[in-house]
């Protein structure tokens, strides 16, 4: 059992260096590449080239609901528990997640774990780049078989939304929907990268690309700057918020940023636009984002 309590959503590379090797601290490499972008290397290959010593690799598309035709949807809790245990992770562990390609998946896995009831989890601020900048050791090598863990998922449904929830929210306009896709996709001016999806956004949604939360050095902006970025998007930070994006990954970066400023109750729409944009009876709007209740 770990005696480490991760009380904030982020840890620094220096903190991880100082605590590396402590009992009950598990480090998880979540590096992921989007298949439709035809990357030269996938996450597992990038992990094999370079990772933090003793880091466990998290295969995002395998620890998912593989019965769904949507990408990396949340796995059923029984499956998630079994796969976490197979990775060598236990419910008693303190878990630090990171990625090595610009926040693509670390926030998503942070959210997955929190949604499954594991709150003793944080993201390495700046990922592998920050670790290297702090002179952290890096090793190469294939993914190793892990020693078994004992993980028991206890889902927190307040942190996730499905398509029926979102239909009701859009109809009632009872939550603020924050979309992390870029402005051209949000407005409907650019085609979606996934084939067969409509262009546009959910009626009444706000727009804030996840990149607006990240500094040039790949660190997340500080609390004050994050607050300003979210407020400038038009959000009322005292009201309910659900985040969305293309497939639930960068939506999790927005949820992480909101958690940093104290809003750790924000839900993520798991299916996001890969589901909404291809479904019937899901209204689609085009044009500018909402701003303080009005379109701009």
Closest CA to 207 of 174, 232, 238: 232
Token pair in block for residue 199: 């262009």
Catalytic pick from 170, 180, 235, 245?
245
Q: Give me the residues paired with residue 243 across strands.
A: 178, 268
Token pair in block for residue 37: 């972008």
Q: How far apart are CA 32 and CA 199, in angstroms?
A: 25
Q: How far apart are CA 267 and CA 134, in angstroms?
A: 33
CB of 276 closer than 8 Å to CB of 242: no
CB of 179 closer than 8 Å to CB of 207: yes
Q: How far apart are CA 70 and CA 290, in angstroms?
A: 27
245 is an active site residue: yes
The catalytic site residues sit at 245
């Amino acid at each position: 059992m770990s005696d480490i309590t991760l009380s904030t959503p982020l840890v620094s590379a220096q903190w991880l260096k100082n605590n590396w090797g402590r009992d009950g601290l598990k480090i998880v490499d979540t590096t992921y590449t989007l298949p439709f972008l035809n990357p030269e290397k996938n996450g597992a290959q990038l992990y094999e080239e370079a990772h933090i010593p003793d880091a466990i690799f998290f295969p995002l598309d395998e620890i998912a609901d593989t019965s769904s035709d949507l990408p990396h949807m949340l796995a059923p809790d029984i499956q998630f528990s079994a796969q976490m245990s197979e990775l060598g992770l236990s419910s008693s562990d303190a878990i630090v997640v990171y990625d090595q390609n610009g926040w693509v998946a670390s926030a998503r896995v942070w959210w997955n774990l929190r949604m499954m009831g594991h709150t003793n989890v944080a993201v390495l601020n700046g990922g592998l780049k920050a670790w290297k900048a702090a002179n952290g050791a890096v090793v190469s090598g294939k993914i190793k078989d892990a020693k078994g863990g004992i993980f028991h998922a206890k889902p927190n449904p307040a942190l996730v939304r499905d398509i029926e929830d979102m239909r009701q929210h859009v109809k009632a306009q009872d939550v603020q929907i924050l979309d992390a896709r870029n402005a051209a996709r949000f407005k409907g001016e650019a085609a979606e990268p996934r084939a067969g999806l409509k262009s546009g956004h959910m009626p009444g949604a706000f727009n804030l690309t996840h990149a607006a939360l990240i500094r040039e050095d790949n660190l997340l902006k500080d609390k004050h700057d994050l607050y300003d970025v979210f407020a400038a998007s038009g959000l009322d930070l005292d009201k309910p918020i659900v985040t969305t994006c293309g497939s639930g990954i960068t939506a999790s970066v927005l949820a992480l940023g909101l958690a940093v400023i104290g809003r750790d109750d924000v839900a993520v729409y798991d299916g996001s636009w890969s589901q909404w944009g291809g479904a019937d009876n899901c209204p689609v709007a085009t044009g500018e984002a909402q701003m303080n209740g009005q379109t701009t």
